[in-house]
Amino acid sequence: MVVTMVAAHVAEERGSELRHSFTGATRDMPAGIVQTFLVRVPGGHEWRILTVWRSREELESYRAAVETPEAIRVFRAVGSEPVMGEFEVLEHAAGTAPI
């Protein structure tokens, strides 16, 4: 598994617009995505989209198929220029509580 992180500062007045953009973008996700989250630093303007990909190969296949990844487009839609990070999942555990 691989986790990607796309992060940007978003003006407070654009937060609900960002949430709406994320919801629209997640209606039809690539098959390689296990889960994706829109998160915000509590009380701040720092937002992130964290996405869990089943494999590096599926992530790379997606990137090759699109001009601009959807997470970047979500932030740009609200006037923010994001930065990206990528993490290799070495270990994984899941609880039993429902989300």
| Within-domain flag for 44 | yes
In tens, the pLDDT along 1-41 reads: 999 999 999 999 999 999 999 999 999 999 999 999 999 99
| Within-domain flag for 95 | no
Pairwise CA distance, residues 19 & 24, whole Å: 9
Query: Predicted confidence band at 97 (pLDDT cuts at 50, 70, 90)?
Result: confident
Say which CATH number the domain at 46 has.
3.30.70.100
In tens, the pLDDT along 5-14 reads: 999 999 999 9
> CB of 72 within 8 A of CB of 42?
no
Range of the domain at 51: 2-88
Is the pTM of the predicted complex or chain greater than 0.85?
yes
| Within-domain flag for 70 | yes
- How many folded domains does the chain comprise? 1
